Amino acid sequence: MKSLLHIRREWLLLAIIAVIALAVGARAPVFLTLRNGMDIANDSAILAILVMGQMVVLLTRGIDLSVASNLALTGMVCALIGKAFPGVSIVVLIALAVAVGALLGSINGWLITGFNLPPIVVTLGTLSAYRGAIFVASKGAWISDQDIHDSIKGLPREVWLGLPALVWFAIVVLVASSVFLKLRKEGREIYALGGNPHAATYVGIPMQRRLRLVYTLSGALAGLAGLLWVGRYSIAYTELAAGFELTVVAACVIGGVSIGGGVGTVLGAGLGVLFIGVVNGALPVIQVSPFWQQAISGAVILISVAVNARSERRAGRQILERQGAAA
């Protein structure tokens, strides 16, 4: 058992996912078909995009609870603009979604760095503020299928080189995050300041600038996800994706991203997304009530953090700055 824990946790998680997939496949062979695999990938794509933003924030010991509200608000703004200007092209809409999302994210970053406030509280506040803003923007009305701009609806249905457009978006975001975190100076600095903020300040890492960058990034990705979400489900309303921020954090935690900052990889977080996608895809196939989904993901979060804490001697530091709990 002990040696098992020394294997890189990404491979362990991959093995668990494979076992689940095979076990479900043994009962219902349809689960292992390419078509089903595509469905799962398509369903997980939006989550993967959000998870990359959240992971970058978690690396700095922060948290962004406002992602789902940001997603819904940006989605609503895009839907409204699409409705008001039928001639607008998809490129403009994508740019708009990213820009609106980035703006909302940068408000988080500005509040956190400008006033030295705890991220969890700031994003808790913007979580409700952005959610309410959707209601104000839409006057409470739903924008349903026939009013959603055709190019917004069309985007998730495109297939490029055999893969759905949503999966392409997710792949691009995953690769870009990987490059950013592994090869770019800013990316390495984010790990450094999450691992040890004091040391990072001493070596001259511009902490405030990097923090603003990560919240803006998280916001921009949430904005992109908002456009894709509205397109995929062809609807925009006030309660869109409510509570999804917890799924996003859950995927990060399952993927081994430490809430205490400084620890986490794109591969791990991606596998965390895949895990949630496979479990969600498997439940209806083996005829388990979809109501189990939430309970299972809760149990998995608890198990994976417990395993994490055991395999890494270094206990996770938490956002609330409780240091040296072992002392």
Partner 1 sequence: MKAWNTWERVLLALLMLLLVVFGSTQTGFMSVDTLADSTFNFSEKGLLALAIALLIVCGEIDLSIAAILALCSLAMGYTMRAGLGPWAIGLAALATGVVAGAVNGVLVTRYKLPSIVVTIGTLSLYRGLALVALGDQSISGYPEVFSTLGNAYLGEVIGVKWLVVPIEFVLLCVAAVGVGLVLHRTTLGRRIYAIGANPVAARFSGIEADRYRFALFVFAGLMAAVAAILLTGRIGSTRPNIAMGWELDAITMVILGGVAIEGGRGSIVGTMLAVLLLGLFTFGMGMANVTGIVMSMVIGVLLIVSMVLPKMLKNRGAHA
- For residue 63, the Cα-to-chain-centroid distance in whole angstroms is 11
CA dihedral 143, 146, 150, 152 (to 10 degrees): 30
Binding partner 1 (rule: CB under 8 A), the pick from 28, 113, 135, 142 is 135
Q: Considering only residues 111-130, where is the footprint of partner 1 by CB under 8 A?
A: 111, 115-118, 120-122, 124-130
Plot region of 110 (φ>0 → left; ψ -120 to 50 → alpha; else → beta): alpha
> Does 321 contact partner 1 by CB under 8 A?
yes
Stretch that binds partner 1, among 8-16, 98-106, 210-218, 244-252 (CB under 8 A): 244-252
Binding partner 1 (rule: CB under 8 A), the pick from 109, 219, 260, 270 is 260
Compute CA distances 46 → 119, 213, 230, 287, whole Å.
Answer: 23, 21, 11, 25
**Closer CB to partner 1, residue 140 or residue 154?**
140
**Closer CB to partner 1, residue 125 or residue 206?**
125
**In angstroms, rounded to a whole number, what is the distance separating the alpha carbons of residues 144 and 264?**
38
**Closer CB to partner 1, residue 176 or residue 288?**
288
Q: Considering only residues 30-69, where is the footprint of partner 1 by CB under 8 A?
A: 63
In terms of Cα–Cα distance, which of 47, 71, 51, 121 is closest to 280? Answer: 47
> Does 296 contact partner 1 by CB under 8 A?
yes
> Does 297 contact partner 1 by CB under 8 A?
yes
Long-range contacts of 187-193, Cβ-Cβ distance < 8 Å, separation of 24 or more: 190/56, 190/59, 190/60, 190/214, 191/59, 191/262, 192/262, 193/60
Binding partner 1 (rule: CB under 8 A), the pick from 22, 30, 89, 132 is 132
Which two tokens mark 126? 């913007």
Number of Cβ within a 10 Å radius of residue 210: 21
Binding partner 1 (rule: CB under 8 A), the pick from 22, 30, 136, 172 is 136
Positions in the binding site for partner 1 (CB under 8 A): 63, 111, 115-118, 120-122, 124-136, 140, 238, 243, 246, 249-250, 253, 259-260, 289, 291-299, 301-302, 305-306, 309-310, 315-327
